[in-house]
């Protein structure tokens, strides 16, 4: 169907980058508070809704997604003293409810029901933490998908909230010191409250809050006025002896500072790992020495013991050596270490003694993703979760002494995932590199070159795309679709070398890997160009938009979601500066050159037939501000050289994705799948 797009006005805004003049006619759309931006959003949403409302299977898909999502599911329980805490969603609740019970056989009670925080479920629970003896329970909430959070404190015995409320915090945990108070990371109050969802965030600080006192009395523990663009995460070791700061200049590279809270001198911090050339994390304190996971001299990571009195790397003691598979994380519990590795993008877990001797390889149901391998030092068991593309998240109980797992809780599905299967294939990248890809579809589906395919990937920030179940994909699989996930370079599936192969001036490698995945699927007769859709979010939105601008002939449908699409200005908003270590910055002459070559906004060409495109974003996305999507949509609508639609779906009271209520997730995915079905010429069957 033909689409009449709203008029997007153009201005004569230009910028001079190192002698190169770049036009930015839609700069005005960066002002999310302006009346003309608001009118543009309203007009675009009206066009998009008008198009989607006429799609024949939209309501049918929405009904099916609602049924598929309507099943009870629980998280893995966490034990704190005599208390057991877990979250549960009965099916269509907008937010999972947090439950607590006394002992494993106790009667569950609702501790926090986020669904009572708002009428539409757009306020989500974030960080949670009990104080040492479970006297207090602290939690943070975020509204409308924003990264901004507020922290509250509850008297656990009475279940009454205390008077204090801590505001203007983001990217923080809650680390209790006894029952008296806790540490957290926060920002100063924004100078312009109205612009807090787009203005640059600077000078993150660490505070200590004492229970019963107002936020203005919180004690400043750490600040760095010389370096405004750094993240500072704070935590305590389990025994509360060491206060640990993980400091980062962006999304890659870590400096670690510690303070021994038993020492007489409490005036400063000791630098345990200096600089930002490596990634490291403190695992635990063992007899006054700190166990650290690091990739210093070990791109697939290792575990070392570091003495704060002699922190130089020449003094490190290797506890778990680097292995062939990348070490993703290390948990502690019951006096043991639990190392989670990736074997071709699937989880493997080994239990070690504290001195690094291997004891058990934990048996998992199959290739997939397992998480939750940790507990307190005095426990002899814990619960973990396993999932895969056709295996809904299931909770197991693990006995530390025997190394055995037993089933604890299965989700109450209303459909049979056994009708589908996942295979893993390996395809050659442009340079011949072997790249893994998971393909999920109906059992026995024929490779006839005619199957609808949704190709999904991310390829950045050391993020691993491992197998996980999503009920919203079932509607596509039921109707003959193949859901394909490619593990591109830029992720961490094979360690830091794999990550670095797709960052900075090597970012084009990621796009080449994605294009190679599409070409493989066509060559091997899984599909053809007219049946191929691509989808990705955030950095994956950049991936989709870059590939559709580079190879518009290869794809029929493109779904760039909350994408980083203006690579010349991304670092000027909220926490975009933190991605410079991954992408580079247009402020640098050399980096500007390669950013300009692939920046989706700047590589659209008039008269080119681009794929049918549905761009999605949200008004409260303060991670990747919606201006990226606004400007890209306006530019793409202007240059589109054929009748394939170019639409933008702008959600209200929603953000980058975290904490999105079930109802909004169903609405969004119903629209995405309806758009895909219509433009891949699919027919939705009755299910």
Domains in the chain, please, with CATH?
A: 14-67+415-679 (3.40.50.1820), 74-409 (2.130.10.120)
Which entry of 209, 602, 628, 656 is annotated as an active-site residue? Answer: 656
Where do the H-state alpha helices sit in 333-446? none
Residues 79 and 98 sit within 8 Å (Cβ to Cβ): no
DSSP 561-574: ES----TTTGGGST
Q: Is 313 a catalytic residue?
A: no
DSSP result, 435-464: EEEEEEEETT---SS---EEEE----TT--
Q: Is 97 helix (H, G, I), strand (E, B) or coil?
A: strand
Question: What is the C-alpha separation between 233 and 443, in angstroms, rounded?
Answer: 46
Distance CA 26, CA 90 (A): 45
- What is the token pair recorded at 638? 């202007």
CB 300 within 8 A of CB 495: yes
Residue 208 CA to residue 222 CA, distance in Å, equals 10
Strand 612-618 to strand 557-561: parallel, antiparallel, or no bridges (unpaired)?
parallel
* 8 A C-beta contact, residue 232 and residue 276: no
- Catalytic, out of 538, 586, 599, 629: 538
pTM of the model: 0.96
Query: Which residue bears the tokens 């990550």?
Result: 499
Cβ-Cβ contacts under 8 Å for 422 (sequence gap 6 or more):
367, 388, 389, 390, 438, 439, 440, 467
Cβ-based burial of 522 (10 A; exposed 0-12, middle 13-18, buried ≥19): middle
Is the four-CA dihedral 521, 522, 525, 529 of positive or negative sign? positive
H or E element in which residue 589 lies: helix 589-598
Instruction: Look at residue 432 in the predicted model and tell me its pLDDT.
Output: 98
Please identify every stretch of the chain with a pLDDT value under 70, giving residue numbers as ranges.
686-687
Model confidence pLDDT, tens digit, residues 221-243: 999 999 999 999 999 999 999 99
Identify whether 538 is a catalytic site residue: yes
Give me the pLDDT at residue 415, please.
Answer: 77
**Cα separation of 658 and 668, whole Å?**
14
Q: Give the model's pLDDT for residue 191.
A: 82
Task: Enumerate helices (H) and strands (E) in the chain, giving the number of each.
Answer: 10, 39
Taking a C-beta distance cutoff of 8 angstroms, is the pair 555, 611 a contact? yes
For 261, 272, 291, 324, 358, the CA distances from 304, given in Å and listed in that order, are 22, 12, 6, 17, 15
Where do we find the tokens 């807090």?
196
Distance separating alpha carbons of residues 662 and 65, to the nearest angstrom: 11
Selection from 596, 616, 604, 625 nearest residue 44 by Cα: 616
pLDDT at residue number 657 = 87
Closest CA to 410 of 388, 397, 393, 389: 393
Q: Which pLDDT score, from 0 to 100, does residue 687 have?
A: 59
Partners of residue 234 on adjacent β-strands: 245
| Residues whose CB is less than 8 angstroms from the CB of residue 301 and which lie 6 or more positions away in sequence, other chains included | 293, 294, 295, 322, 326, 327, 328, 495, 496
Q: Computed from CA positions of residues 333, 336, 337, 338, in that sequence, does the dihedral angle turn out positive or negative? A: negative
Residue of 246, 266, 148 lying closest to 206 (CA atoms): 246
């Amino acid at each position: 169907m033909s689409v009449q797009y709203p008029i997007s006005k153009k201005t004569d805004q230009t910028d001079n980058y190192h002698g190169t003049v770049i036009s930015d006619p839609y700069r005005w759309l960066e002002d999310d508070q302006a009346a003309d931006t608001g009118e543009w959003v309203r007009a675009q949403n009206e066009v998009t809704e008008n198009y989607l409302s006429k799609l024949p299977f939209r309501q049918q898909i929405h009904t099916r997604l609602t049924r598929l999502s309507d099943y009870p599911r629980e998280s893995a329980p966490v034990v704190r003293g005599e208390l057991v805490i877990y979250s549960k969603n009965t099916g269509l609740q907008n937010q999972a409810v947090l439950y607590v019970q006394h002992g494993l056989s106790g009667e569950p009670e609702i501790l926090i029901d986020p669904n009572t925080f708002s009428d539409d479920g757009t306020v989500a629970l974030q960080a949670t933490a009990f104080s040492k003896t479970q006297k207090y329970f602290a939690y943070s909430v975020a509204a409308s998908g924003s990264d901004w959070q507020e922290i509250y404190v509850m008297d656990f015995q009475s279940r009454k909230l205390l008077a204090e409320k801590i505001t203007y915090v983001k990217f923080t945990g809650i680390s209790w010191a006894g029952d008296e108070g806790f540490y957290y990371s926060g920002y100063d109050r924004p100078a312009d409250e109205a612009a807090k969802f787009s203005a640059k965030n600077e000078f993150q600080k660490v505070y200590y809050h004492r229970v019963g006192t107002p936020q203005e009395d919180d004690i400043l523990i750490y600040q760095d006025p010389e370096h405004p663009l750094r993240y500072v995460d704070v935590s305590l070791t389990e025994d509360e002896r060491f206060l640990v700061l993980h400091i980062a200049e962006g999304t890659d590279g870590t400096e670690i500072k510690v303070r021994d809270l038993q020492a007489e001198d409490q005036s400063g911090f000791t630098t345990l790992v200096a600089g930002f050339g490596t990634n490291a994390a403190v695992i635990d304190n063992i007899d006054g020495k700190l166990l650290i996971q690091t990739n210093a001299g070990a791109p697939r990571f290792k575990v070392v013991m570091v003495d704060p009195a002699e922190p130089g790397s020449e003094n490190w003691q290797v506890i778990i050596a680097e292995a062939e598979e990348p070490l993703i994380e290390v948990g502690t519990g019951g006096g043991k270490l639990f190392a989670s590795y990736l074997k071709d993008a699937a989880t493997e877990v080994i239990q070690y003694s504290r001195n690094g001797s291997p004891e058990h390889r934990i048996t998992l149901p199959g290739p997939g993703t397992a998480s939750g391998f940790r507990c307190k030092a005095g426990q002899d068991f814990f619960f973990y979760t396993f999932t895969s593309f056709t295996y809904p998240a299931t909770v197991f109980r693990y006995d530390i002494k025997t190394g055995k797992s037993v089933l604890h809780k299965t989700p109450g599905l209303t459909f049979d995932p056994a009708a589908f299967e996942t295979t893993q294939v390996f395809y050659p990248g442009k340079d011949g590199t072997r790249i893994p890809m998971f393909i999920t579809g109906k059992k026995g589906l024929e490779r006839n070159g005619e199957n609808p395919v949704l190709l999904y990937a991310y390829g950045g920030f050391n993020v691993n795309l491992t197998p996980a179940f999503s009920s919203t994909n079932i509607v596509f699989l039921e109707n003959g679709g193949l859901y394909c996930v490619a593990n591109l370079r830029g992720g961490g599936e094979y360690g830091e070398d794999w990550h670095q192969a797709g960052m900075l001036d090597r970012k084009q490698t990621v796009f080449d890997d994605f294009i190679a995945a599409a070409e493989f699927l066509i060559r091997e007769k899984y599909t053809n160009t007219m049946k191929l859709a691509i989808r990705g979010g955030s950095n994956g939105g950049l991936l989709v938009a870059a590939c559709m601008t580079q190879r518009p002939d290869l794809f029929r449908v493109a779904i760039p979601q909350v994408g980083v699409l203006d690579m010349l200005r991304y670092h000027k908003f909220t926490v975009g500066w933190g991605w410079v270590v991954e992408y580079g910055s247009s402020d640098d002459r050399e980096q500007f050159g390669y950013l300009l070559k692939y920046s989706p906004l700047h590589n659209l060409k008039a008269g080119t037939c681009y794929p049918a495109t549905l761009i999605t974003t949200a008004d409260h996305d303060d991670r990747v501000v919606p201006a990226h999507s606004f400007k890209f949509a306006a530019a793409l609508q202007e240059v589109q050289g054929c009748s394939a639609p170019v639409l933008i779906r702008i959600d209200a009271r929603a953000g980058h994705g975290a904490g999105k209520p079930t109802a909004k997730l169903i609405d969004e995915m119903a629209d995405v799948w309806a758009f895909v079905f219509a433009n891949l010429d699919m027919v939705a069957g009755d299910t």
